[in-house]
Structure 1
Amino acid sequence: MDARRVFDQMCSHDVMSWTSLVLACVDCGEEDTALELFQRMICEGHALTSSSIVTAALKACIRVAAREEATQVDGKAVKVSSLEKGIAIHCQASKLLRHWDFVLDSSLMEMYAKCGSLVDAQRVFDSMPHRDVVSWTVLMSGYAECGDGNKVLELFVGMKLKLGQACCALDARVFVPVLKGSSSVGSLEVTKAIVGEVYRYGAEKDIVLSNSMVDVFGKAGSMNDAQQTFDADSRSDSMERSRSWIQPPGRRREGPGCLSPGCGRRRS
């Protein structure tokens, strides 16, 4: 790997160069090497002056967990080996890291959730002095993956109450785990309420989310609602394609990141 060759040729290494190499290994699918490099950096006595290197190591740990077979521990599916690696990284960061931030907390929560330890993910969440939509979403995703729909819905309600106006721009990344949670609960009424929230926030045009809505209605046994959602999405796609041909190029919408005055406006 070119990044490793350049790194080895350097006379000295700082945290930035270590971070770049660890991230390069993760991006190239060499998660085990990334974790070995992180431990080597610690053993050589380098100071953890930035949370970025820890976040990179946690990202590698999450990738390792994705390919590990889960083991049943107290009735829960746990990625034991990956969890041990993640706990070690957490302990080292707690002792050595000079500056902690909420991005690192979210990465820790994701690592614990992906490894099957929602108790630890919840503990990190509860200890956070400030929580944003990302941190709430990470925890909801963890509970959704393990099928605890009631907890997902409880967190969703709690997030809206705690964040208030900060929830004015909820998107598909938030609603996908919430829909999965409603599916676990198995209540058509709850599912319809969540889908109503999706439309209220104008997030229904996301293809993954629209497919999730069709799927969750199907699992709830309401094929009429599933068909109506599917048909509405199909009409919306057709209308969007028509508008894209009709509108002059200079006024054509460029997707969710556009800066035009009407872009991202919630439906009334």
Structure 2
Amino acid sequence: MRERLISLLHRSRPLPPHHRHVAQIHALLLRSHLDLLPLFLDRLLLGLSPSAAAVRHARKLFDALPQPDSDLCSSVVSACSKLSLHREALAAFYSAHRKGSPILFLSIPPVLKSCAWLPAADQGKQVHCHVLLRGFGSNVFIQAALIDFYCKTGDLGSARRAFDEIAIKDPVIVNCLISGYSKAGDVVEARRLFDNMTKRTSASWNSMISCYAHSGNFAEALTLFERMLKEKARPNEITVVTLLSICAKLGDLKTGLKIKCLISDMGLTTDLIVRTAVLEMYVKCGAVDEARREFDEMVHRDVVAWSAMIAGYAQNGRPDEALELFERMKAENCKPNEVTLVSILSASAQLGSVEFGQHIGSYIESQELASGVYVGSALVDMYSKCGNIGGARRWEEARKTRDLMRHKNVQKLYAYSWIELEGAVHKFLVEDTSHPSCDEIYKAVDGLSLQLKWVGYDPNLELI
């Protein structure tokens, strides 16, 4: 039995976690009391899909092992960390350590990443101690992970001490510390590190250019980019996206066009993120027609590209084109995000059309897209500018109520009513259209409403 199962597990392809044979094989292993669970877990981890449930299942199997081997520990910790299951990654690491399993250096970078994200500063320092005890301190990936951990937990002093203890300063290590100083706003120290580098990679240039961009030193960022080209360093998509965002903020169309030419030379014309950055640069520089040409040339468009183009029309006083593009976006089944909705509400407000404003407002309500603060405020502004004061007042009160409900973690259930007719119960949700006699019911209600208003009935909607 043992030999047959070993042969089966080795012959089989990596097992996807939801495959019907996974549970069967697992049950057979448990019933036969054969010590093959590590091999089974190894095959399962090889086939893991990006699913939190699958990784948690693997974690349970891992915890059942009396002394998991080092390779399995590395695989489980890495899988948890990749899927942002950071507490699970940390728990697996400590579980293996408590059971006396030797920890491989491959487990260290993912567990430090999880410590940085939680954040779990004390646990990360314990991992650092483990690194020193095990003699892993010379590994460049562990060095980079340690510095990144200390930077992300705000301990730049420890990051710098760890950096200073490294004999050979690999560019990967220096880049991590430059990014740390950049996030802390220390441009001077970041530049000092950059200037002292004997060998710079594209990531080094990107880190320093991004540092200047984040601190608002746009001129320095552009100057550094020119130096990058003179030194024959090769920019990549991260470089050009950062520079295009700088040009957009400065309204520098001339430099933006130079970067666009560089994009063509680099062969990045099909990169969606780069093309969207070019589109946004055109929009922010007021070159809306050029932005539209860029948009039309895009083979694939995501919600960011649609939103950027719609915002461009709205911000540059062309509301009709913004609304036309929004209708096309809906027709292509691209779900709008908050930026899209705020832009389209701004365009509706510019038109001042009560009818179209109500149309957009109804769409947002029907799709339940008005939960954001910015969308709610834009709805109030749009209704006010379209002359629908009642709608504006209603949305302002609704926004305040939703903010309070969110603060108190209160959920609103769908309203419904029901009637009993000829032995059958009929249930109706808000704006329900599922009833087989829906058309006749709504016609009857409309007729009754007209008759009531004709005889002088004035509905009181204050409590609704």
* TM-score bucket of the superposed structures, by smaller chain: 0.7 to 0.9
CA distance in 2, matches of 1:242, 1:61: 43
SS at the partner of 2:392? helix
- What amino acid does structure 2 have at the position aligned with 1:20? S
1:172 and 2:338 are equivalent in the alignment: yes
1:222 and 2:392 are equivalent in the alignment: no
Unaligned runs of 5+ in 1: 66-81, 246-266
Which residue of 1 is the match for residue 201 of structure 2?
Answer: 14
Shift of 1:43: 2.5
Which residue of 1 is the match for residue 317 of structure 2?
Answer: 147
Identical counterparts, % of pairs:
30
CA distance in 2, matches of 1:112, 1:188: 31
The equivalences for 1:70-149 within 5 A come to 82-97=252-267, 100-149=270-319
Question: Is contact 1:171–1:201 with CA below 8 Å preserved after alignment?
Answer: no
SS at the partner of 2:404? helix
The equivalences for 1:30-109 within 5 A come to 30-48=217-235, 50-65=236-251, 82-97=252-267, 100-109=270-279
Question: Is contact 1:51–1:100 with CA below 8 Å preserved after alignment?
Answer: no
CA distance in 1, matches of 2:404, 2:202: 51
CA distance in 2, matches of 1:98, 1:155: 26
TM-score of the superposition, structure 1-length normalised? 0.79
Question: Is contact 1:32–1:64 with CA below 8 Å preserved after alignment?
Answer: no
SS at the partner of 1:131? coil
What do the CA deviations read for 1:107-162 (whole angstroms, capped 9, x no partner)?
11111110010111111111111111110100111111011111111111111112
1:235 and 2:424 are equivalent in the alignment: no
**Count of matched residue positions in the alignment of Structure 1 and Structure 2:** 226
Higher RCO (Cα < 8 Å, 6 or more apart):
1
Shift of 1:181: 1.0
CA distance in 1, matches of 2:256, 2:218: 13
Shift of 1:97: 4.5
Shift of 1:37: 1.2
SS at the partner of 1:116? coil
TM-score of the superposition, structure 2-length normalised? 0.47
Question: Is contact 2:268–2:274 with CA below 8 Å preserved after alignment?
Answer: no
Which residue of 1 is the match for residue 350 of structure 2?
Answer: 184
CA distance in 1, matches of 2:258, 2:320: 31
- What amino acid does structure 2 have at the position aligned with 1:85? T
CA distance in 2, matches of 1:8, 1:155: 48
The equivalences for 1:194-213 within 5 A come to 194-213=360-379
